[in-house]
Amino acid sequence: MKDILASLPGLNDKYSMFSCIAEDADLGDSKFLFSAEDGLTSKDMMTRCGSKMLDGHRPVFDAAAIEKMRAAGGKLIGKCNMDEFGFGSFGTNSAYGIPKNPFDLERSCGGSAGGSACAAAAIDGHVSLGASTGGSICCPASFCGVYGLVPTYGRVSRYGLVDCGNSLDKVGLISSDPELLARFLPVISGKDPREPTSCAQPELELKGERIGSVGVPEEQLEGVSKDVLSCFESSLDVLRGMGVEVKMIKMPSLKYALSTCFIISAAESSTNLASFVGMRYGQQEGDLSMRFDDYFTYFRTKYIGEEARQRILYGTYIRMAGLRERYYVKALRVRLHIIESYKKAFAEHDAILTPTMPFVSPKFEEIAKMTSDESYGIDRLACPPDVAGMPHISVPCGYDGSGMPIGMQLVTDHWKEDPLITFAKDWGKAFDVRRPEVSL
């Protein structure tokens, strides 16, 4: 562990996975090292959510997930770079550096938890905490060739997570080792009276339940790149070899998930982020003789980045009188339909399986040239289970001709994390997961 701590500055110079590294190199009684996305509060390191708005913000408390990891003997080694307030799919919207993919430094780690996936891929035996609103853990896990687990909504307390879309946000885990997901999910799970959505959960039991059948929604394979499709189909053969029944199914409701996710997250984040106005947190250097509207506008215009600003504007519009019913309330009702569709599918199959992302991690120069249509649709495969609050996992399932990782995503019914964890462990034995060559 000492070697890893000593290598962090060099690693970060090369990959920019951390916005902040532990200053204290003393391991004390620590049993393991972990990192956390910068949207989770930490009392010994700044919490800035990738935003200039929160520069200098040092919370006085740890997020529940960080608190529990420390209590289990973990040492927090760094806060991971993320898209500002979670808005982005490529990790390029951070004010504190853009994480670079350990498989190819010219490519993205994905987003928004790009720094967490980068750390999980680059550091041996590492586990990182991430947060997911609409594909933010599985997208980077797929791009970086690691395992990304998003538990059921409410399984892990969101206390101390800077909310983006509060009815969508979940805290999860990213690691190159599925055994670490099994080890740490019970650590971070559980009821927390400080966060009521965590209090309705049944007890987490990891008893080795296996997935016997998967349904593959045909519609979700449309528009997927040749490389991804080819690896995915090979993975279906591996699954059959493992004794898993694979059946093509139809789930037309999933086509509404992306719009539903966008509307709910924009509406909710536009209110949640309204508290960042140059008072109490982060930047506060303004002239207090200004009228409050002007003061707030000065800070938000100066310090909130382009993508976050756009999403907040969209959300503010969606919540306007006369439009709230049409967009936000409608999206909540469509979400219920999507949940019902999943439940119907789970009556016949243990899990739903799709590729995680429609293509491998793009190069930064390709991202810069993407049309709004292309960048809008990128999370269409990763976000449906996030909308439904269902547990899901991205596992590496292949590599394209350039050696870039490809992932597939399994979804199970609410509170059924056990089969996902068991599957990841079995898959880790059946599939040859490659690690990037990390040198300093």
Site for another protein in 37-76 (CB under 8 A): 56-58, 60-61
Task: Report in angstroms how near the CB of residue 50 gets to another protein at its nearest.
Answer: 18
Residues 6+ apart with CB under 8 A from 332: 264
Q: Binding to another protein (CB under 8 A): which residues in 403-432?
A: 414
Given the complex with another protein, which of 14 and 309 has the nearer CB atom? 309
Give the C-alpha distances (Å, rounded to integers) separating 111 from 63, 203, 314, 439.
21, 30, 20, 23
Q: Which tokens in the block code for residue 133?
A: 């609103």
| 253 touches another protein by CB under 8 A | yes
Judged by CB under 8 A, the chain residues 380 through 399 that form the site for another protein are 387-390
Number of residues that bind another protein (CB under 8 A): 72
Residue 221 in contact with another protein, rule: CB under 8 A: no
Interface with another protein includes 364 (CB under 8 A)?
no
- What is the b/e burial string over 109-129, where b = at least 16 CB atoms within 10 angstroms of the residue's CB? bbbbbbbbbbbbbbbeebbbb
**Is the separation of the CB atoms in 89 and 379 below 8 Å?**
yes
Of residues 277 through 296, those in contact with another protein by CB under 8 A are: 277, 279-280, 284, 286-296
Task: Pick between residue 149 and residue 312 the one whose CB is nearest to another protein.
Answer: 312
Q: Which residue has the tokens 């987003």?
A: 111
Q: Among 304, 360, 381, 404, indicate the residue that binds another protein (CB under 8 A).
A: 304
Q: What are phi and psi of 373, to 5 degrees?
A: -60, -45
User: SS3 of 328, please?
Assistant: helix
Site for another protein in 142-171 (CB under 8 A): 152-154, 167-168
Cα dist. 381→16, 231, 392, 393, 410 in Å?
27, 16, 12, 12, 11
Residues between 305 and 324 that touch another protein (CB under 8 A) = 309-310, 312-314, 316-317, 320
* Residue of 14, 97, 242, 376 interacting with another protein (CB under 8 A): 376
Q: Record the tokens describing residue 290, joined without a space.
A: 């200004």
270 binds another protein (CB under 8 A): yes
Q: How far apart are CA 385 and CA 417, in angstroms?
A: 13
Q: Which is nearer to another protein, 119 or 382 (CB)?
A: 382
Q: Which of 87, 96, 147, 262 binds another protein (CB under 8 A)?
A: 262
Interface of this chain with another protein, residues 191 to 220, rule: CB under 8 A:
193, 196-197, 199-200
Which listed residue (21, 55, 256, 370) binds another protein by CB under 8 A?
Answer: 256
Q: Does 301 bind another protein (CB under 8 A)?
A: yes
Using an 8 Å Cβ cutoff, are 303 and 51 in contact? yes
CB-based contact 386:248 (threshold 8 Å): no
Nearer to another protein, 195 or 366 (CB): 195
Is 439 among the residues that bind another protein (CB under 8 A)? no
Chain CA centroid to CA 433, Å:
21
DSSP state of 81: P
Among 263, 345, 367, 406, binds another protein (CB under 8 A): 263
Least distance CB 64 / another protein (angstroms): 13
| Among positions 71, 105, 248, 336, the unique one binding another protein when judged by CB under 8 A | 336
Q: Is 402 in the site for another protein (CB under 8 A)?
A: no
Q: Is 34 exposed, middle or buried (0-12, 13-18, 19+ CB in 10 A)?
A: buried
